[in-house]
Amino acid sequence: MVAMTKLKISLTQTIPAHSRLSATVIGVEGKAKSLKLSKNNVDERLLSLFNLDSLGVSAEVGAVKKLAGPSSSLITLVGLGKDTELDSIRQAMGSVARELGNVEHVIIDLPFKSKQELLAAIEGFHLGNYDYLAYKPKADKRKLSKLTVITELKTTALELTELEILTSAVHRTRDLVNAPANDLYPEVMVLAAKKLAKTLPIKIKVWEEKELISEGLGGIHAVGKGSNRPPRLVKMEYKPTGAKRSIALVGKGITFDTGGLSIKPAESMVGMKYDMTGAASCLQAVIAIAELKLPIKVTAWLCLAENMPSGTATRPNDVIKIRNGKTVEVLNTDAEGRLVLADGLSMASEENPDYLVDVATLTGAATIALGNRYAGLMGDDLAITKVQEAAKTTGELVWHMPLPEELRPLLNSDIADIANVKIGNRAGGMLIGGLFLREFVGIEGRTKPAWAHLDIAGPANNDSSAYGHTPKGATGATVRTLVQLARDLSS
Ligand code: BES
Ligand code: ZN
Ligand code: ZN
């Protein structure tokens, strides 16, 4: 939707000429009062002019200070934290890219100790180099087109391309999620999936309303039937020859969540365009995985619906039937994510994947428990461990939460197999969401896939100010972890 200027990246050992359109980036490390500049080649005489204390320079990760440099250029100091870790580098370079959007040429002059550090810097820079301007293109002030890193280290062209594939997937996720719901509804997501998959070895199948009904996908249908814009299920299958393992990704794709007849109060409804983040993330992850040619089968299931109140909407107390045959009494139409995912998890389970990961902005309770940066992670130990490892590599934040057995009876229904909520109960909302989903993982009598549930209600969207490589608005969080998981499981 928003085409960012493609960044030209070069590594060099000679210092490029400064100009009014360039900025040289130097790091700041250590503690207050004993700050150290961390640089590679910049002229010592120039740096001796700066009094770090009086300038108020900080080593806090991502803190940026712009100073006048030679030939009208900028010298930019960026905090790298106390002990430079890979993710501090990513975050710091993300801040740099955000803050230096109005220069053309950024020159990084940091003493990278390894190729990993260098690649993390470029990754963070790409991630931060983003604005969503689809609805105010005239506000585009970003001139950044060139990144030069002064270093003796080398990367391959393939490594740089892989970083671009990954970070573009994150940008495209943000584009979809930032798009307002008047322009982004289930069919638009279908078109986006088809368009991106067109030139890749990805097979797409779409269930429209009629098929949703005839094939027993009662959850997606029930949630979508109150809207004029009909629901969809999309399957995107990437199956390279020789793949030994398989992952299914299931994403919550509520393009707008009014709550349905259990309508949300006005304030809580703002932001509900973000409720399709799970589906957008799964979509973009499978695209990136195919572009990276990872040797693993990956199937993304996008559960798409708009949750609207109307004369055709699902009512509280309605009983619906999910794909796997279980009946659900809908006591609150605002707990709709679990209904669409129930169908998605059932469909995915029919294909016996080794791993099954669902991603959803499922509960407000997740933000109460974990704040806005951590995703809640629930499920089977094996899948939990794999997701934790992948998240550690990407620097994304996940936190393992329990699925307490004693909470399951809260979902007992008088007339159906299960209810979607316990009315009046506020304790453990995120965990109850997980317990509900668990009922739809695997097929009776078969080995169950290793399942993980990511509740991303917190990290999907950043409604405070930008930080590190995270912009305001849609963040694209978890896309990189899903791709990393596929990478880890493919080797
Ligand atoms: N989409 C919301 C969850 C949500 C809330 C995401 C805030 C991001 C920010 C979800 O469909 C929902 O409304 N959940 C209810 C569940 C309740 C009815 C059991 C909630 O969290 O209140
Ligand atoms: Zn809801
Ligand atoms: Zn929702």
Around ligand 1, the residues with Cβ closer than 6 Å are 257, 275, 332, 334-337, 361, 363-365, 367, 421, 429, 457
pLDDT-wise least confident of 56-65, 88-97, 234-243, 332-341: 56-65
With 90 as the cut, is the pLDDT of residue 142 above it?
Answer: no
With 90 as the cut, is the pLDDT of residue 37 above it?
Answer: no
Domain boundary among 128, 155, 182: 155
Examine residue 252 and state whether it is found in any structural domain, yes or no.
yes
Q: Angle at which helices 157-178 and 277-291 pack, to 10 degrees?
A: 160
Whether 142 and 236 map to the same domain: the answer is no
Whether 317 and 396 map to the same domain: the answer is yes
Examine residue 193 and state whether it is found in any structural domain, yes or no.
yes
Cα(447)–Cα(317) distance, integer angstroms: 33
Cα(249)–Cα(282) distance, integer angstroms: 6
Residue range of the domain that includes 69: 8-155
Examine residue 3 and state whether it is found in any structural domain, yes or no.
no
With 70 as the cut, is the pLDDT of residue 5 above it?
Answer: no
Cα 442 to averaged position of ligand 2 atoms, centre (Å): 25
DSSP secondary structure of 146-202: EEEEE-S----HHHHHHHHHHHHHHHHHHHHHHS-TTT--HHHHHHHHHHHHTTTTE
Whether 248 and 112 map to the same domain: the answer is no
Cα 364 to averaged position of ligand 1 atoms, centre (Å): 5
For residue 361, the ligand 1 atom closest to its alpha carbon is 6
The answer to whether 484 and 476 have CB atoms below 8 angstroms apart is no
pLDDT-wise least confident of 34-38, 107-111, 159-163, 404-408: 34-38
For residue 362, the ligand 1 atom closest to its alpha carbon is 3
Cα 272 to averaged position of ligand 1 atoms, centre (Å): 9
Query: Which ligand has the minimum distance to the alpha carbon of residue 260?
Result: 2
Q: Whose CA is nearest to atom 22 of ligand 1?
A: 364
What letter does residue 315 receive in the DSSP assignment?
P
The answer to whether 302 and 283 have CB atoms below 8 angstroms apart is yes
Whether 68 and 121 map to the same domain: the answer is yes
The answer to whether 238 and 346 have CB atoms below 8 angstroms apart is no
In one-letter notation, the amino acid at residue 349 is: S
Examine residue 240 and state whether it is found in any structural domain, yes or no.
yes
Cα 257 to averaged position of ligand 2 atoms, centre (Å): 5
Q: How confident is the model at residue 1 (pLDDT cuts 50, 70, 90)?
A: very low
CB atoms near residue 300 (< 10 Å):
31
Domain boundary among 125, 155, 185: 155
With 50 as the cut, is the pLDDT of residue 108 above it?
Answer: yes
Mutating to test ligand 1, I would choose from 274, 363, 368, 425 the residue with most ligand atoms within 8 A of its C-beta, which is: 363
Cα(391)–Cα(371) distance, integer angstroms: 17
- Percentage of residues in the chain with pLDDT exceeding 70? 99
Whether 282 and 315 map to the same domain: the answer is yes
User: CATH code at 289?
Assistant: 3.40.630.10
Q: Which residue has better confidence, 102 or 415?
A: 415
Q: How confident is the model at residue 167 (pLDDT cuts 50, 70, 90)?
A: very high
Examine residue 458 and state whether it is found in any structural domain, yes or no.
yes
Average pLDDT in the 14-24 region?
Answer: 91
Please tell me the predicted confidence (pLDDT) of residue 270.
Answer: 98
Whether 226 and 124 map to the same domain: the answer is no
Q: Whose CA is nearest to atom 3 of ligand 1?
A: 363
Q: Whose CA is nearest to atom 18 of ligand 1?
A: 335
Whether 122 and 269 map to the same domain: the answer is no
Whether 141 and 264 map to the same domain: the answer is no
Examine residue 217 and state whether it is found in any structural domain, yes or no.
yes
User: CATH code at 41?
Assistant: 3.40.220.10
Query: Which ligand has the minimum distance to the alpha carbon of residue 429?
Result: 1
Average pLDDT in the 438-463 region?
Answer: 98
User: Per the structure block, which two tokens stand in for 49?
Assistant: 């002019």
Domain boundary among 103, 125, 155: 155
For residue 275, the ligand 1 atom closest to its alpha carbon is 1
Residues with Cβ–ion distance below 5 A, ligand 3: 254, 257, 275, 337
User: Per the structure block, which two tokens stand in for 419?
Assistant: 């209810």
The count of domains in the chain is 2
Whether 312 and 188 map to the same domain: the answer is yes
Whether 73 and 207 map to the same domain: the answer is no
| Closest C-alpha to 453, from 468, 441, 469, 471 | 441
Instruction: Give per-residue pLDDT as tens, 259-303.
Output: 999 999 999 999 999 999 999 999 999 999 999 999 999 999 999
Please tell me the predicted confidence (pLDDT) of residue 4.
Answer: 57
With 90 as the cut, is the pLDDT of residue 84 above it?
Answer: no
Beta bridge partners of 29: 36
Catalytic residues: 264, 338
Q: How confident is the model at residue 183 (pLDDT cuts 50, 70, 90)?
A: very high
Please tell me the predicted confidence (pLDDT) of residue 30.
Answer: 85
Instruction: Give per-residue pLDDT as tens, 225-271.
Output: 999 999 999 999 999 999 999 999 999 999 999 999 999 999 999 99
Strand, coil or helix: 106: strand
With 50 as the cut, is the pLDDT of residue 2 above it?
Answer: no
Query: Which ligand has the minimum distance to the alpha carbon of residue 364?
Result: 1
Cα(281)–Cα(177) distance, integer angstroms: 9
Sheet holding 327-329, edge to edge: 319-321, 327-329, 418-419
Examine residue 1 and state whether it is found in any structural domain, yes or no.
no
Whether 149 and 178 map to the same domain: the answer is no
| Closest C-alpha to 343, from 273, 279, 269, 422 | 279
Whether 128 and 225 map to the same domain: the answer is no
The answer to whether 340 and 282 have CB atoms below 8 angstroms apart is no
Cα 220 to averaged position of ligand 2 atoms, centre (Å): 13
